[in-house]
């Protein structure tokens, strides 16, 4: 008789490791509604220059094609809601970038969780760890695994916890003894995130156009920031959290206590004049092991030069 994953033990270990939530879904193709929405979104060019989003479409929509033999998907969430924030009158960085690079931290914790299952429950277990590094629709699987629902701002919203969470997955070749059910969408008639977007990148509920999104334009974008957008940047030099700040569900958010995700005093004490004089050497020191490296020194300087003080 096949040994199944002990869901209760797995979730208890996930929480012990510091994850904020954990759920399990049976593996299977992405449902037609989400698959068709993704196909239309890509076809309309709303993914901007992020060509990788269109790669491996079939694998993105079927975990068994991405990792042969996948039978269940474990989804986890890790809180990054900041305990302290940069002063409002200083240049702003997205909350997720306050601490160390989440990719490294999430992979480490997920690998530990994988080994726990393998050693204590299922010796024949095999699979892969993912965190924003492969064609995996993370918010879809978090929804399928019962963590929350995908909000109108396209973020995963966890009830009574908010949306400031990193997501990660385990694709496993063994079934679990119990599975979680998707949660119903509880955004209701609220459109505060759409109204709060400074560039109207949220054209409609769930309809993000990355070509206008400040998170894309200040991080992923390698070219110049469009002249029509730069006046709308405010003091945001790396990312944007306006749709999260406006979401009523984030009133339930609790401060992140994970040591690795805490900002350094040096980062928090930077002033506008410090940023304007930032050298590449100082940049490397300040953001060693940080996700801010995604934009590179040249990208951050480009963003800072857009500021109108």
Provide DSSP, 46-58.
Answer: TTTT-GGGGTTHH
Provide DSSP, 7-59.
Answer: HHHHHHHHHHTT-SEEEEEE--PPPHHHHHHHHHHHHTTTTTT-GGGGTTHHH
Distance in angstroms (rounded) separating the CA atoms of residues 167 and 73 = 12
Structure tokens at 296: 């590179």
Structure tokens at 215: 């998170």
Measure the CA angle with vertex 166, ends 12 and 275; round to 5°: 140
Measure the CA angle with vertex 128, ends 30 and 293; round to 5°: 95
H/E stretch holding 193: helix 192-196
H/E stretch holding 301: helix 296-305
Give the catalytic positions in this structure: 132
H/E stretch holding 168: strand 165-172
Distance in angstroms (rounded) separating the CA atoms of residues 290 and 304 = 18
Structure tokens at 244: 């999260």
Owner of token pair 């500021």: 307
Distance in angstroms (rounded) separating the CA atoms of residues 32 and 61 = 10
CB 173 within 8 A of CB 79: no
Distance in angstroms (rounded) separating the CA atoms of residues 48 and 184 = 30
Distance in angstroms (rounded) separating the CA atoms of residues 99 and 265 = 11
């Amino acid at each position: 008789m096949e040994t199944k994953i002990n869901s209760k033990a797995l979730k208890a270990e996930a929480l012990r490791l510091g994850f904020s939530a954990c759920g399990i879904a049976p593996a299977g193709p992405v449902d037609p509604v989400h698959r068709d929405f993704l196909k239309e979104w890509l076809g309309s060019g709303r993914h901007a220059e992020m060509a990788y989003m269109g790669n491996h479409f079939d694998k993105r929509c079927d975990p068994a094609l991405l990792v042969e033999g996948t039978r269940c998907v474990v989804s986890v969430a890790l809180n990054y809601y900041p305990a302290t924030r940069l002063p409002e009158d200083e240049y702003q960085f997205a909350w997720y970038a306050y601490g160390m690079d989440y990719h490294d931290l999430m992979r480490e914790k997920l690998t530990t969780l994988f080994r726990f299952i393998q050693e204590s429950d299922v010796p024949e277990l095999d699979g892969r760890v993912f965190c924003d590094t492969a064609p995996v629709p993370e918010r879809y699987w978090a929804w399928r695994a019962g963590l929350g629902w995908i909000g109108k701002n396209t973020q995963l919203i966890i009830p009574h916890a908010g949306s400031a969470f990193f997501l990660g997955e385990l694709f496993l070749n063994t079934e679990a003894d119990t599975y979680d059910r998707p949660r119903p969408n509880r955004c209701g008639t609220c459109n505060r995130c759409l109204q709060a977007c400074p560039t109207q990148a949220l054209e409609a509920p769930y309809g993000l156009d990355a070509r206008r999104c400040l998170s894309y334009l200040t991080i992923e974008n390698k070219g110049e920031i469009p002249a029509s957008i730069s006046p709308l940047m405010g003091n945001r030099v790396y990312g944007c959290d306006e749709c999260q700040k406006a979401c009523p569900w984030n009133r339930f958010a609790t401060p992140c206590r994970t040591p690795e995700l805490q900002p350094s005093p040096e980062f928090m004490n930077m002033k506008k004049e410090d940023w304007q004089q930032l050298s590449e050497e100082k940049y490397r020191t300040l953001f060693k092991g940080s996700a801010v490296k995604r934009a590179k020194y040249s990208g951050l300087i480009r963003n800072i030069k857009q500021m109108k003080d």
